[in-house]
Structure 1
Amino acid sequence: MKTVRRLLYGEIIRAVAFVTLGFLALFLFFDLVDELQALSRFASQGYKLQHALLFIGLKTPSHLYELLPISVLIGSIFVMARLAQSSEFTILRTGGLEPWLALNSLFKLGLIFTAMTFFLGDYAAPWADRQAQQIKAPFQGQLTVGQTGAWLREKQGDRQYAVNVRRFDGIDQMQDIRIHAFNARGQLLAITNAKQAQIQAGQWQLSQVEHKALLMASTPNATQLSAISLGSQTWPTGISADMVAAALLSPDRMSTWELFGYMRHLTVNNQNAQRYEIEFWRKVFYPLSCLVMLVLALPFAYLHFRSGQIAGHVFGGVLAGISFALLNNVFSFIGNLQNWQPLLTSAAPALLYSAVSLAAFWWMVLRR
């Protein structure tokens, strides 16, 4: 059985690597075309070809994370169809490779691909994205959203804070910050304006600060405004750089743990976390799709092929992989718009393709 597993694993891994490299080269070419425009746009700021190439290279882990499940499906379908056409899989079946044993062997290989996808999505891709942003930030300027920037909320004891960040470099530097402090009844207590701020562990270091506080006057129901200017001020907060970036960037750049922390932050502060809950569960289920793809490819080993039929079945595998990616994104958008249950919204594509895979396995392998 070790020889059989060595044969299957070697063939599938080589095919998956070949497909992944092909898709990766295509994606990197598209990135290069986009960066050629950035080269002309930021040439006056000193953005050169070596910066663009390094930026493109750091996007590789993100592309690998997106491509790996589809590549697993296409590569495994090609291997299974080729083994069936050459009657090698028939010989393996004659030698004692039962359907459930073959499924179990592919399941173990799928766990390896699942672990690789999880590592890419949770560690390699977020780290590489931060490094890429750090390279490009000095040339493209600050990140911003619309005319008002990003808004965040935080609750500290009996006080609530509404924070507005106009610009952020994607790392730890912010510009044009406003912090509104409210009491438990929602009454405005103070407004703090800062030209710049640096995000540190558990606090923000504000620079060029103007602090305005509302004070109760001696006359009933009257208030006075007190304004002071400070060179710098420390504001203790649990809002991290990832949370600010999440308000300005797409949440798919965050790791699973960062998404979970930001999701809890939004929930505690009575904000809508639907979008981030869906993205969190997508991060959980997406690596498991590698298992689904291998199960979907196994029935191809039990078909009978004539010469030239492999290309058609591999093309069908490509369409199946693309449809899975599209369905995954469509469910995410529709679930966010229709306020569906995040867990079911994210799990639905994987469950649907799992059902199709097992039904095909039962019909084409066990029933026949």
Structure 2
Amino acid sequence: MLERVGIAMSKVIIVGGGIGGLATAVAFHRQGWDVEVLERAPEITEVGAGLSLFPNALRALDTLGLGDEARAHAREHGAVGIRNSKGGWLARPDTAAIRDRYGLPVMVHRADLVDILRRAIPEDAVRTGISVTEAHSGGSVEHSEGTSTGDLVVGADGINSVVRRAVCGQITPKYAGATAWRMVLTPTQPMDDLGETWGHGERFGFTPLGDGRVYCYATANLPAGTKTDGLEELKRRFGSWHAPIPSLLEAAEASAVLQNDLYYLPPLKTFVAERIALLGDAAHAMTPNLGQGGCQALEDAVVLAKVMREGGNLARYDELRRPRTQMIAARSNRAGMVAQLSWAPLAWLRDSLLRLVPASAQVKAMAPVLDWKP
């Protein structure tokens, strides 16, 4: 566990109060740093969506001393199997083997994790309603309330990061070719089942949460900026798919459906510049196909704090984090391209090949992502 030393040794300015920014605040606070988190929103909240915490992320939370609390708000689940729209299995991972080799992931509501992280730092460490307009590599940021200066500036301000401009210049996110819907609902009957279903250019997934609700997500190949009527669109696309998808959609509230186009960042040449470090989506925004976006932000926070504790060489942070996160982002992109195949002959070939992959190979393929330890 990261241990707190006696008095504040330095000050860190963290731009962004999401999972990555708050985890960074916890890590540095427990090392005795003075922490200032600048968040644009008027309050620290999180959208109504679930988050898979894979074993690598749970190890990061354990390092922060928050792993047990996160597990208490979560529900353990096996590896997500893949079915076709009629319910036939395409890939069914060996959950027991995954548990033995890596440990199983848990599913938590994002709002619960944000609350756990927020309560682990002083109330006055977070300043909300602050819009950052510019960051300077010497260790300062300009914002709507003036200027904040520290020994380190951390850009945790998402895919459209302002801080990133001081490190890499203007970087334009790339559209992944699909839009996504997310929602949390209360099923008509208790559920233990989970999984992801692939069609032609569209997918639907569902996972129970610890409180009895179910987190659902769906994707479809659509031009960027396409607006849909949310729940009705989901019913049209997925209402005839295998159980329990139709009943989940019937139990959903239209107001709970969130739609966002999927974007990712091209590989950056560096995550650091003088006294600035980038983490989370500001550094390596990736598609959600491996469920590793939030997990990698938690890893980033732990590694950055450790690097600063051991001499503060930010080049070391870049060396440790950039190759790994860019490898995972590339794997996620490839997985999305395969899962979103829309031409029927190619989708049929994909499904046929998936059925031939041994369960042992599926388990082994997870190692580069899940074997990480702090």
Bin of the TM-score, shorter chain as denominator length: under 0.3
Structure number with higher relative contact order (C-alpha < 8 Å, ≥ 6 residues apart): 2
Structure with more helix by fraction: 1
TM-score, normalisation: structure 1:
0.28
TM-score of the aligned structures, taking structure 2 as reference length: 0.27
Larger Rg: 1
